[in-house]
Amino acid sequence: MIFLVISLLFGIAWYITLPQNKGALKNFMVDQNKNNMADENNTTHDLVFWMDIYNSGSPTIVRAWNLVIKDLSTNSVQGYIQRDFPEKVAWENGTITYNKNDYLFEKTRESAIPTGSMRHGFLFFRVFNCQRKWLEAAGTSYEVTFQDIYGNGYTNVFKWPLPLPQ
């Protein structure tokens, strides 16, 4: 009986010292980003970010992408990710066609990103209730946030003007 109790305690101590099963994700803006900002009077705008996401931890799935835009006076507007991304998006100088297979939202939620791997693609956000001049003001920050299935949150902040490819 004493042997069983001691074995159980050693087993619990061994389990507690195991490394936690967590992803370790980083994302980067990697390509020229398209901003379909409508005219000054329109308050709905489309933003497309081309990004890489790297995983140096355990295989994981990304379950939520979000965009928060903040200006210097701390006003903020919440964007959201399109679940049904339109294949064609009308831009100021015509129509751009995107391949749904490059949609990072789908690539990171359907199958795990293996340890040491990356996924490349675009994120599409439709932003409401803000003016173009506010989105393009110097110092406006764009916070791309996401969570993995382990509950870890990640944030990457970009300032206007959005960065060029790295």
Per-residue pLDDT of the chain (166 residues; tens, 9 = 90+): 675 556 554 545 444 444 455 667 877 766 555 566 666 677 788 788 888 889 998 899 998 888 888 876 666 777 777 666 766 665 656 666 777 788 888 888 888 999 999 998 888 888 888 878 888 888 788 888 889 988 889 888 887 776 655 5
Domains and CATH numbers, the chain: 24-159 (2.60.40)
The secondary structure of residue 13, as a DSSP letter, is: H
Q: Which residues, in sequence order, are bridge partners of residue 26?
A: 54
pTM of the model: 0.73
pLDDT at 114: 93
3-state helix, strand, coil in the chain (%, to 5): 20, 45, 40
Distances (CA, A) of 81 to 8, 26, 34, 67, 151: 47, 19, 15, 8, 19
In angstroms, the CA 43 to CA 57 distance is 40
CB 51 within 8 A of CB 144: yes
pLDDT at 31: 55
